[in-house]
A and B are shown apart, each in its own frame.
Chain A
Amino acid sequence: MTAATQASHRPVKPRRSRAIYASIAVFLVITLLSVSERWGIGLDIGGLIEDIGNGEVILRQLLNPNWAFLPRVVDPLIETFQIAIIAAFIGCAIALPISFLASRTTVPNRLTLTVSRGILSVVRAIPDFLYALIFVAAVGIGPLGGILALILFNIGVVAKLLSETVDGVDTGPIEAVDAGGSNRTQMVRWAVLPQVLPNYVAFSLYAFELNVRASAVLGFVGAGGIGFLLRVQYQFLKWENVSVIIICLFFIVVLIELVSIRLRRRLV
């Protein structure tokens, strides 16, 4: 046994990079500074304990949904669903070609790549809420503003996720199709698209789900859907009605999730 250990020169276990410890330390310091009295956001832990009972009334009303309110929820909910599906459809359709323009697998040209990725970063940096504010100001109160806001939001999300998927595809088929003398569009259509199609469907369903959730917020600025109703009930402190809206949204999101799991399983 000693002979064996002498014979083999086992490599020394490499030491873990210090960068990890340094970044954990920096993260901890920033967190501590943020809650500190002098530099922080003025977090008052005492207030949390003193006022915790105030939430009790709201919580009790939330736990007792007013089901008589349900019929008034149906129409705005359908509108939300329609806004979400129209925006997801258009947004994802636009995102598909853009994501091929933003991947180094399909675009070897550095300039094109930098420009398309730059535009995508800008599109994604603007929050959906801000898009809604801008479009409602531009086209007036109603679902159209919401649809336009969500289209841009979906382009940002889906193009980002899909271009990263395209970065990781098997490049073998690309070489094969290139070797056959086809052009770039044909290469993308036949060597790349089939590889990322299941991911694309999954991302699109995810975008649709995000839209249903986002509509709760977008309605606050008048971009149509269930959010407007939510805002009114919240302003009149009708928590038992708010509760019904939240439960309905919850069921729709879960339903979409179930459908998308099934679809993905059939596609992959």
Chain B
Amino acid sequence: MIKFEHASVTYPGGVHALKNLTLEIPDGQMIVIVGLSGAGKSTLIRAVNGLVPLTDGDCIVDGVSVRGASTRQMRELRSHIGMIFQTFNLVKRTSVLNNVLMGRLHETSTWRSLLGWYKPEDVEIAMRALERVDIIEKAYVRAANLSGGQQQRVGIARALAQEPNTLLADEPVASLDSPTSHVVMRDLQRINRELGITTIINLHFLDLAKVYGERIIGLRDGELVYDGTGEQADENVFRDIYGRSLTADDVMGAAQTEPATISA
């Protein structure tokens, strides 16, 4: 359970990225956050794991206050929250397996991680995470040699290797083409359903948000302006969230590969 309580973030430059946000996310939900760039989507997601500190109010994750957490508590909290990034954030010069094993660092002692002596059970968890996103055959390939879609799946595997109860995805498909985006979104959906992991995804493509969002949160200028289901979110709702009429750039377009899954 994630609870925002009058949470605000003001950046040092004076920008109010998040304004008095109150929001409750029950366990196991797949929730999509939409809004224009600069609306506070990334800030909201990073407030959950403390990468961006709140300047007012609080965020409570599984009963722990993110704002009041000590360094040790923060690491403990983060170890249960996997994160996926727009630019994948892999170490390109090392192997796929090494990248996924970075998800096991919290469970590995400092001296073991310095030498790279991961426990066999941690390697097994990393391998299973790679199998789950169907990219196990690339385990010993350098991350730099993978395509964008493959790199993002490794990013998901790294997050899964943490055995998290929550997954944060910051624009996970913004660097990918349309068919690859649907593959990645379906992976996230499957993981959410099969493992019951609470999943929070930032998206700016409205059609993707409607298809994959069990629940949609609309942000405008750091304020919550919509909270409802994907079915309820029609064109008028999105127009309100964006504060302007919609254009062709706001939709990604259908997946030509497997249109059947859109009804999912």
A181→B70 CA distance, assembly (Å):
12
Q: How far is the CB of A259 from chain B (nearest CB, A)?
A: 22
Q: How far is the CB of A171 from chain B (nearest CB, A)?
A: 9
Interface residue A5 (Cβ < 8 Å from any Cβ of B): no
Interface residue A190 (Cβ < 8 Å from any Cβ of B): yes
Which chain A residues lie closer than 8 Å to B6 at the CB level?
none
Chain A 138-172 interface mask (CB, 8 Å, partner B; 1/0)? 00000000000000000000000000000000101
CB atoms of B91 and A195 under 8 A apart:
yes
CB atoms of B102 and A179 under 8 A apart:
no
CB atoms of B89 and A173 under 8 A apart:
yes
CB atoms of A182 and B90 under 8 A apart:
no
CB atoms of B76 and A181 under 8 A apart:
yes
CB atoms of A179 and B81 under 8 A apart:
yes
Q: How far is the CB of B200 from chain A (nearest CB, A)?
A: 13
Interface residue A266 (Cβ < 8 Å from any Cβ of B): no
Q: How many chain-A residues does the 8 Å CB contact rule pick out?
A: 21
Which chain A residues lie closer than 8 Å to B74 at the CB level?
181
Interface residue A180 (Cβ < 8 Å from any Cβ of B): yes
CB atoms of A181 and B102 under 8 A apart:
no
A110→B74 CA distance, assembly (Å):
22
Interface residue A194 (Cβ < 8 Å from any Cβ of B): yes
Which chain B residues lie closer than 8 Å to A75 at the CB level?
none
CB atoms of B83 and A194 under 8 A apart:
no
Which chain A residues lie closer than 8 Å to B102 at the CB level?
173, 176-177, 180, 182, 190-191
Contact of B89 among A176, A197, A198 (CB under 8 A): A176
CB atoms of A172 and B78 under 8 A apart:
no
CB atoms of A175 and B51 under 8 A apart:
yes
Contact of A178 among B51, B76, B108 (CB under 8 A): B51
Q: How far is the CB of A197 from chain B (nearest CB, A)?
A: 7
Contact of A176 among B83, B93, B114 (CB under 8 A): B83
Which chain B residues lie closer than 8 Å to A17 at the CB level?
none
Which chain B residues lie closer than 8 Å to A186 at the CB level?
105, 108, 110, 113-114
Of B81, B105, B162, most A-chain CB atoms within 10 Å: B105
Q: How far is the CB of A164 from chain B (nearest CB, A)?
A: 18
Number of A-B contacts (CB under 8 A): 84
Closest B residue to A198 using CB positions: B93
Interface residue B239 (Cβ < 8 Å from any Cβ of A): no
Given contacts A176-B158, A179-B81, contact A191 B113 (CB under 8 A): no
Which chain B residues lie closer than 8 Å to A172 at the CB level?
85, 87-90
A190→B113 CA distance, assembly (Å):
8
Q: How far is the CB of B123 from chain A (nearest CB, A)?
A: 15
A176→B93 CA distance, assembly (Å):
15
Interface residue A9 (Cβ < 8 Å from any Cβ of B): no
Q: How far is the CB of B143 from chain A (nearest CB, A)?
A: 10
Closest A residue to B87 using CB positions: A172
Interface residue A38 (Cβ < 8 Å from any Cβ of B): no
A173→B110 CA distance, assembly (Å):
18
Interface residue A185 (Cβ < 8 Å from any Cβ of B): yes
A181→B94 CA distance, assembly (Å):
20
Interface residue B103 (Cβ < 8 Å from any Cβ of A): yes
CB atoms of B110 and A190 under 8 A apart:
no
Q: How far is the CB of B144 from chain A (nearest CB, A)?
A: 11
List residues of B whose CB falls within 8 A of some A CB: 49, 51, 74-83, 85, 87-94, 98, 102-103, 105-106, 108, 110, 113-114, 155, 158-159, 162, 168
A-B pairs, 8 with minimum CB distance: A181-B79, A172-B89, A181-B78, A182-B105, A176-B89, A179-B83, A181-B106, A181-B75
Can you name 4 extra interface pairs (CB under 8 A) apart from A176-B85, A195-B91? A172-B90, A179-B81, A185-B114, A189-B113
Q: List 27 A-B contacts (CB under 8 A).
A: A172-B85, A172-B87, A172-B88, A172-B89, A175-B51, A177-B105, A178-B51, A179-B81, A180-B102, A180-B105, A180-B106, A180-B158, A181-B77, A181-B78, A181-B162, A182-B106, A183-B110, A185-B114, A186-B110, A186-B113, A189-B113, A189-B114, A190-B98, A191-B102, A194-B94, A197-B93, A198-B93
